[in-house]
Structure formats: structure tokens, C-alpha cells
A and B are shown apart, each in its own frame.
Chain A
Amino acid sequence: MPINYKNGIINEHLRVRNQAGIFDVSHMGQILIPLTQDNIKSLEKFIPLNINNISSNKCHYSFILNSNGGILDDIMLSKITYIKNEYIYIVYNSSRKSVLEEIFKKTVRNYEIIENRCLIAIQGPESFASLKEILNLSQNMNFLNISVIQYNVSDVIISRSGYTGEDGFELSIINKHAEEFLTKLLQKNIILCGLGCRDSLRVEAGLSLYGNEINENISPIQAGLSWAIDKTRLIDNSLNCSSILTEQLNSPKSIKKIGLIPVNKTMLRANMPLCNEAKKEIGYITSSCYSPILKCSIGIGYINKISNMSEVIFVKVRDKFEELKIEKIPFIKKNYKKGDVND
């Protein structure tokens, strides 16, 4: 996947926000694990979900955790029926394949790492309209629903999900049908988009990226993602880090995730140090981009929770200290297709 195609990052970004764009994210890891009680028990040592209790045909954002509560990866997990069998389907980061696949090898049985399927994301407000001309898509499919549908006599695993803050879909499609499918889609006023706008779209939407906001030394609670933990998993030791997470939940947070916008024109970059008025370092920027919607640089960062939230924050850009405003995350309103009355 290139940084951008011929339209450039900003144009690709705006196409996804206003119409629709396609991301070929086939580099990501996909695995099917038979839904057996043994496999569930093994996975639940690392994953803070109650897999028996989660509804089928729904994607769940979760994590693979180490014994300190650190995040080995963030994942999308769902229970699906595929060729008449029930499976746990997990999509994971390509940069974490070796770490995760080692864990799967040691813990679960009869799994299949999917190598014969592409993963294609169609994102943007026009994605439903464009896709329904090619696929038999249900109107009732809402944000985070997942199902298996037929395309060209093969099964497509399709979820209404994505990584942009927009309505959209992710499709796991057999390799030999992917090119024909993409060619059809590209005739629908949708353009191919690259990694550059994939990053600027997710930063605007305030979504975490492995290696930036989250890593092996940060827990979901420290990363402001405790909403994704099933708290009933913390009452016993079946999750490998339940006592550490419980302790973190019950103590004041050590770091806080914040959104940042510079007061004057400058560009924030990941890893730039954040300072207080006395120019003492109090944190760092984890992600940043130029926001084509807000037309300025935006950033996500962590600051020590002990620092006074009302104080002015600066970032050191080369030899200058630039003043920052704290902004709410996400920077834009998310545009998901929810099934509620406000939809």
C-alpha cells in the first residue's frame, strides 16, 4: 500500500470524508479460530472480553494483553458462522503478526491464518450506496455488524466498520475475486487511497494506532480505552493481568490522552516533547497530521496526569516553543451508521 496514489493525501482524505475511498488493507492479519470452549478459555487469558457472552455477528474492538496489562495488539474480534461452522474471526495489525501468531500457535487449536483473502475497506458516506450496486447488502446492517454474504459463488466476510470515523465497510474477499471486485468498485466514482490519508483520517477521528498511542508498556486503561474492557473479566484471574488492570482502574490515572491544536501556524510531529509554562517536559505527542477538515495541524498526546490541566501547554518545534490548545478527541464528528432513533 503506497503513502498516496496520484491524487495526493489531502484529496484522498477529502474524498473519504465527502464521498468514498478504497483502502487495500490486505497486509493486515486475519485468523479464523473454531468457536470451542477450549479455544475461548485460551483466548480469554489474553483478551478482556467474555467471548461466550458477546453477540454473534457483531465486531468487538479489543486487545491482546501481556501479563502486565500492556497491549500486545489491538484487534477486531467477532463470532461468525462460515461454511456452516462457528468461528472466532480476528483482524490484527500486520506489524504485530509474528508476536500474535506465536501466541495463537501456543494457545489455540485448529485455527487457520487466512492467507487466501484480501481485506478491502470502503470508507465514506457514499460507501453503502456504491457497494449495494455490487453486493447483496442489507439496509439493516449497522455500525459494527458483521456477516458472511455471497459474491461470485464465494463467501465474503463483510463488516460495517473502519478506521476513518466515517460510515464504511471492510470486506474479506477471496484473492482471485478481489481484482474483479475492486475494478467494479472503481467504476463507481470511488478512488484508491493510501496510507497517508488512512493516518490523517484516523487521527482526526481520534483513533489509536499501535506503536503510537498504544504499545506493550501501556495498558488500555492508561490509553483511555477502558470502555473496551469487559469489567466482569477483572473479578477473577482468568485474564492474565486482571489484578493489575483492577488496580489501575481504582487508582488515579498516571497519564492522560489529550487532543492538541497549535495556537500559531506550525506542524506537530509524533514524539515532539510537550512542556508546561516553565518549559518542563510533561509529556509527548503520539500522533499528528495536517487536518484537511480543520485546515491546521492536529495532534494526540499523553501528558502526566499530575500536571495541572488548566496550565498552558507548549510543544518544542525545533528551537521554538509553540503554544497549544487542548482539544476534545475526536477532532471531527464521527459519522457512523447507528441503528438508533437519532440516525
Chain B
Amino acid sequence: MIEKKYTEDHEWVQMDGDMATVGITNHAQESLGDIVFIDLPTVGKVVKAKDELCVIESVKAASDIYSPIDGEVSEVNEKLSDEAALVNQDAENEGWIFKIKVSNTDQFQDLMSLEQYLAFLEN
């Protein structure tokens, strides 16, 4: 079953088995403005939840992207190397950033549902 959850750092995480696809939310891309460069993570990197993993550079500022979960980076969205603006155009689909082979799937359950994330944005 594929399930999608959200972090307080405005990332979305879509879980399929033990594979998590991660990107930033539409709300995040709107606040960042035009995204011009993404310093993608290295495939094979082992990370813990909350580790800094890559950086998104917009015309306004640089923003760190954190790993939402423990695991190993298994794939990055190479399209973003030449077309970072894809994240502005389609943040929650085509604009995914990296995939993580998750070592602790329990952590996923601690993330926010869409309803919880929307309530989080309200506050």
C-alpha cells in the first residue's frame, strides 16, 4: 500500500514497502519562490532522521532539506540537476527529490497525515 505523510519541515514522504520517496510540499515551494539549483544528495549515503541531506537554492535563500527517516539514499531525481524549477511546477509528483530505503519503518507512522499537516500550516 502506498501512503503519503508530511513533516514539520514541509517535506512529503510517500512510502511504498520500505521505499520512501521524498520531496517538498507545494506550500514550501510557494514560500521559497523560484528554485534555481538543488544540491542533490549522494546515492548510498546512510542517514538518520533529521540529518541535513541536501540544499535547495531559490532566488531568495538556501534551505536545508532533512532526511525524514532513517535509511540509505537509493536514488535521486537527476532531472532536477538541469531543471530545478520542476519543484516549483510540480512539487508533490514530478518534483520528487530523493528516495530512501528505509531501515526503520515505524518512524513513518510518527509523521503527519495530510489533515494534520494542513492544521499545522494553519497554526
Contacts and interface: CB of A to CB of B under 8 A. Distances in A.
Interface of A: 3-4, 8-10, 196, 200, 265-267, 269, 289-290, 297, 318
A10 B81 contact: no
Given A267-B62, A269-B62, A8 B57 contact: no
Interface in B17-34: 33-34
Contact of A289 (B33, B39, B59, B62): B59
A3 B31 CA distance: 11
The 9 closest A-B pairs by CB, nearest first: A267-B57, A290-B36, A9-B59, A10-B34, A290-B59, A8-B34, A267-B37, A9-B34, A265-B37
A9 B36 CA distance: 11
Chain B interface, >50% SS class? strand
Contact of B59 (A200, A265, A266, A318): A200
B112 interface: no
B60 interface: yes
B39 A266 contact: yes
A267 B36 contact: yes
Nearest to A265: B37
Nearest to A8: B34
A297 B37 contact: yes
Most chain B C-beta atoms within 10 Å of own C-beta, residue among A196, A266, A267, A297 = A267
Given A10-B59, A267-B62, A318-B55, A196 B33 contact: yes
A318 B36 CA distance: 17
Category for how many chain B residues contact A? 10 to 19
Interface of B: 33-34, 36-37, 39, 55, 57, 59-60, 62, 81
Contacts, number: 36
Nearest to A289: B59
Nearest to B36: A290
B97 to A, nearest CB: 16
A9 B57 contact: no
A267 B56 CA distance: 10
Contacts of B33: 3-4, 8-9, 196
26 contacts: A3-B60, A4-B33, A8-B33, A8-B59, A9-B34, A9-B60, A10-B34, A10-B59, A196-B33, A200-B59, A265-B81, A266-B37, A266-B39, A266-B57, A267-B36, A267-B37, A289-B59, A290-B34, A290-B36, A290-B37, A290-B57, A290-B59, A297-B36, A297-B37, A297-B57, A318-B55
A20 to B, nearest CB: 20
B49 to A, nearest CB: 21
Contacts of B37: 265-267, 290, 297
B65 to A, nearest CB: 13
Nearest to A268: B57
B54 to A, nearest CB: 11
Contact of B60 (A196, A265, A297): A196
Nearest to B52: A318
Contacts of A265: 37, 81
